[in-house]
Amino acid sequence: MKNNTAKLNLGKYRKPMTETLREWIKIPSLKADPAPGAPFGPELARMLEAALASCRALGFKTRNVDGYVGEAWMGEGSDEDALAILAHVDVVPVGDGWTREPFGGTVEGSTMYGRGTSDDKGPLAAALYAMYAVKEAGVPLKRKVKLIIGCDEESGWEDIAYYKTVATLPRSGFSPDATYPVINIEKGGCHYNLTGSLSQEGLRILSFSVGERFNVIPGSATALVEGDESMIARAEAISRQYGWPVKASMEGNAVRLTATGINGHAAHPSIARNAIGQMLITLRDLGAQGAIRELADKIGTQYLGEGLGIKAEDAISGELTCNMGIIRVEDGQVSCTLDIRTPLLVDGSRLRKIIQDHLEGITVEELSLRTPHYVPLSSELVQGLLEAYHEVTGREKKAIAIGGGTYARSLKEGVAFGATFPEDPDVAHQADEYVNLDSLMRSTEIFASAIIRLAGKVG
């Protein structure tokens, strides 16, 4: 079908959608300690209720599932057969380097800045107003369309786990939490904790604590070490040698080292630079021994797992990637985390032993393991979404693989679909995260076309 959205008059929704998104961005929906009625903390409970209030204001039926998940829907039919659209309202920590208020929803021209604008409140707003446009146009539906709003996507997915115990998760749908055209392959994933001992020889490290999340590539790292002013010149030489910033300054009788990288999402390490890895190499070259040297040698700023013996790639899903997101030095011990994204050909259950065999004096503990997720290109869902994308953009209909994991993998037949375009920079999890409002309106049109194709009686 052609011109599915020609009569929806989507332009009139731009202003209200922008205002809705701005109000959502102003809520700092970071995961926190649970409270009564707020399993992920008071701010996320407030954010979930705000999102549901927006849905009710547009005439949708809603349900708050015990603070874990929200639902808004239109149409009739069973929940299992519904077209699911899954998005999330939790955000990652702000981090360093912002030049705008992270929770201000600042609009400059056609750009809105703020944590969550791209990941994932902006796409959620686009999906909501796409549903509203279809509803207002009176398009007859052959199945229910259900918007599912999660609160723990950036952490442990406790929201979806709970939801599955008290509600029926639809079989098929999409998550607007990645990029176009259609992502029908999500790589597998493994999380590991690595622990080792600080050496009593060489450089003495007084403090080194960086990172908060597995899936964030840290853009800055600091460490305090024993040393004198001569170390400042040595650090500057290291910076020149590797071509990335390392600064040193005296702090009392010790030296404060600062490495500046490029922060980003663990699923896209090629466009970031891990500051933890830079700091490990700096500490090694300044004389650190033991676990610090081993981690610098075997991981450092590598992101393909070369030094761990796990480098792998296949033609369908691409390369294995590896990110060290957290490191702590405490009580003579070094601990750090690895977030590894695996292509289809890799058996994730074998990785721990391989990594352990490549690391001397370091213990490797597996924390979690998920298998790859794959939906065939020939499926009705994938083909319908590709048609919607092509209808609005005129672009090639193709499916791709990503290293990230979205809510789509919680469905038997789920894919990621938008809301960034192939040429857009990846700003998720980064300082000055933003969304282009013109692009967001284009996504609203694409989502509306997809809803009509997959759930409309005329689709």
What pLDDT score was predicted for residue 402?
Answer: 87
**91 secondary structure, DSSP code:** B
Where does a domain end: 345, 370, 395? 370
| pLDDT single digits (tens) 98-132 | 999 999 999 999 999 999 999 999 999 999 999 99
> What whole-number distance in Å separates Cα of residue 168 and Cα of residue 80?
6
Task: Tell me the pLDDT of the chain averaged across its residues.
Answer: 95
State yes or no: cis peptide before 181, omega within 30 of 0: yes
- Provide the residue type at 157 as one letter: W
Q: Distances in Å between the alpha carbon of 171 and those of 71, 80, 85, 379?
A: 16, 6, 11, 13
Where does a domain end: 344, 370, 396? 370
Q: Are 117 and 20 in contact (CB under 8 A)?
A: no
Where does a domain end: 305, 336, 370? 370
What total of structural domains would you count in the chain? 2
Residues 329 and 238 in one domain: yes
In a domain, 2, yes or no: no
Residues 270 and 160 in one domain: no
**431 secondary structure, DSSP code:** T
Looking at the DSSP bridge assignments, the partners of residue 224 are 207, 256
Residue in 43, 71, 90, 177 annotated catalytic? 90
Q: State the CATH number of the domain containing residue 141.
A: 3.40.630.10
In a domain, 1, yes or no: no
Q: What is the mean pLDDT of residues 347-361?
A: 97
Residues 268 and 236 in one domain: yes
Residues 213/218/223/229 CA torsion (nearest 10 deg):
-170
> What whole-number distance in Å separates Cα of residue 125 and Cα of residue 115?
14
- Three-state DSSP at 441 gives helix
In a domain, 3, yes or no: no
In a domain, 448, yes or no: yes
Give the H/E segment covering residue 150. strand 145-150
Q: Distances in Å between the alpha carbon of 92 and those of 193, 273, 304, 446?
A: 20, 18, 24, 27
- CA 322 to centroid of chain Cα atoms: 15
Residues 260 and 321 in one domain: yes
Residues 248 and 210 in one domain: yes
On whether the pTM is more than 0.85, the answer is no
Q: Are 102 and 114 in contact (CB under 8 A)?
A: yes
Question: Is it the case that residue 2 has pLDDT exceeding 80?
Answer: no
- Provide the residue type at 328 as one letter: R
In a domain, 354, yes or no: yes
In the residue annotation, 90 being an active-site residue is answered as yes
Q: Distances in Å between the alpha carbon of 281 and those of 76, 233, 287, 301, 415?
A: 59, 16, 10, 8, 39
What pLDDT score was predicted for residue 3?
Answer: 62
Residue 318's nearest CA partner among 342, 295, 293 is 342
What pLDDT score was predicted for residue 332?
Answer: 93
Question: Is it the case that residue 443 has pLDDT exceeding 50?
Answer: yes
Looking at the DSSP bridge assignments, the partners of residue 336 are 194, 327
Structural domain of residue 391, as residue ranges? 10-185+374-455
| pLDDT single digits (tens) 243-286 | 999 999 999 999 999 999 999 989 889 999 999 999 999 999 99
Residue in 153, 177, 186, 387 annotated catalytic? 153
| pLDDT single digits (tens) 151-160 | 999 998 999 9
> What whole-number distance in Å separates Cα of residue 393 and Cα of residue 387?
10
In a domain, 39, yes or no: yes
Residues 198 and 250 in one domain: yes
Residues 83 and 219 in one domain: no
Question: Is it the case that residue 96 has pLDDT exceeding 90?
Answer: no
| pLDDT single digits (tens) 32-50 | 999 999 999 999 999 999 9
Structure tokens at 213: 């999340």
What pLDDT score was predicted for residue 71?
Answer: 98
Residues 347 and 230 in one domain: yes
Q: What is the mean pLDDT of residues 421-426?
A: 93
Q: What is the mean pLDDT of residues 141-148?
A: 98
Give per-residue burial for 5-18: e unless 16+ CB within 10 Å, then b.
beebebeebbeebb
What pLDDT score was predicted for residue 95?
Answer: 87
227 phi-psi bin (left φ>0, alpha ψ -120 to 50, beta other):
left
Residues 362 and 379 in one domain: no
Q: Are 59 and 90 in contact (CB under 8 A)?
A: no
In the residue annotation, 49 being an active-site residue is answered as no
In a domain, 127, yes or no: yes
Give per-residue burial for 39-66: e unless 16+ CB within 10 Å, then b.
bbbebbbebbbbbbebbeebebebebbe
Q: What is the CA radius of gyration of the chain?
A: 23
In a domain, 4, yes or no: no
Residues 162 and 306 in one domain: no
Residues 339 and 279 in one domain: yes
Residues 173 and 31 in one domain: yes
Residue 291's nearest CA partner among 199, 192, 208 is 199
State yes or no: cis peptide before 419, omega within 30 of 0: yes
Cα–Cα–Cα angle for 186, 418, 117, rounded to 5 degrees: 110
What pLDDT score was predicted for residue 173?
Answer: 98
What pLDDT score was predicted for residue 1?
Answer: 46
| pLDDT single digits (tens) 168-219 | 999 999 999 999 999 999 999 999 999 999 998 999 999 999 998 888 999 9
Q: State the CATH number of the domain containing residue 266.
A: 3.30.70.360
Question: Is it the case that residue 426 has pLDDT exceeding 90?
Answer: no
